[in-house]
Every structure is written in structure tokens, then in C-alpha cells.
Amino acid sequence: EVRPTRGNVWGYRAISAFDVMQVIAHLKDKYPVDPDRVYLIGSSAGGSGAMHLASLYPDQFAALVPLVAAGNNYPIANFLNLPVAFHHGAKDWTSAICDARVQYQKMKDFGCPVILQEYPNAGHSIPRPHKPIMEWLFRQRRDPQPIRVTHQCESPRLGRSYWLTIREFDNPHLPASVDASIDPNNGSILISSTNVLSLSLARTRM
């Protein structure tokens, strides 16, 4: 288990996504980490940070648990193959539960594997026991070769997801998005994209 250091750090923006991914890469190199069972969990601003990080690198995680997280401004398409379990207190006045409800409904409508657990009498915290949350989390495993990949990004350096990589934008000032799926019957690939000038597919990872 890895946590940010305590002290003067507040809010997920105090630690860059690059730093977090460097730590994960280091752990994978030094310890027997199963790459299909790497999980993200965060509370409050940490929950928002977990959502933000997962939206940048969705193919690196098996599941995500945002606890009383604030905000819902993430590219929904990037969570198509990443299970997310929102947990939120209905009386939370720090990060309103309506944010979690909106995010949950958007992800559900898109087809993402998402659940929302509301706690009617809780505020900005999740009541114990937490064991059921962790049991759900550890049952999840990453699918490294999903049959459909959707990805949206604001820079080509963040354009990789599973077996798909966005290489170049048509307009560098706008985000780019791709929806690619494999026909299991004949192996053909259907691709639709917005603002993408070039992309590549890693056939060995498909």
C-alpha cells in the first residue's frame, strides 16, 4: 500500500500524475506486483485525484474507489473498461452528492462498469465497516486486452490506452478522441475519431 506523505500536502494537485506513475513503475520493478491488480482509492480531494489520474492512464489500473470525491469533470470515455465504485454520504456538504450522482449517471449511460453506494446518514466520510468496499475492490482484475477501447486526451503524450495510441492531433488546441472496437468474428477493426491526424494500434496487445 502506497500513500502520499502526510503534512503540508493538500489536494491532489500538490502531487503530479507523472510523480505517481513513477512511484508505481518503481514498485513494479522492485516488488512482485501483479500488473492486473493495481488499484486506486482516495478520499475527498484524494478521490478527485484518483479519478483524474485514472482518466489519464486508464489501462494501468484494475479498479477505482473514489470516497466522497468532489467534481465530475473527467472524460467519461476513458472509464469504459475500468470499474469505478463511488461511495458518498447523502448529507455531505463539503463535496455535494449531486456531483457523484451526475458522474455516475454519465458513466452508466456510456456503458462504463460503475456503481454508486450512497449512505443516507453520512456526511463527508464513509461509515464503517469498510471491509465490503475492500472486498469488492480486490475482486476486480484489469482486462489488458479489451475488445473495445475509447480514449479522449488533451495531448498526444497522454494518447495511449491499452492497444491504442493517438499519435498526432489535427488541431493541437482541441482535445482528441477515438472509439475503436474489434469484431470477434473476423478480426476487423472499426475506428471513429475526432481531431485525430494519426494513430497506431499495437497488434500484439490486442
Model confidence pLDDT, tens digit, residues 110-165: 999 999 999 999 999 999 999 999 999 999 999 999 999 999 999 999 999 999 99
Report pLDDT for 70: 79
Q: What is the value of pTM for the model shown?
A: 0.92
In 3-state terms, what secondary structure has residue 122?
coil
Mean pLDDT, residues 59-85 taken together: 93
**Residues 166-182: what's their mean pLDDT?**
97
Please choose, from the candidates 149, 154, 174, the residue with its C-alpha nearest in 3D space to the C-alpha of residue 164: 149
- The tens digit of pLDDT for each residue in 193-205 reads 999 999 999 988 8
Query: Which amino acid is present at 33?
Result: V
C-alpha cell at 145: 486486452
SS3 at position 112: coil
89, 119 in Cβ contact below 8 A?
Answer: yes
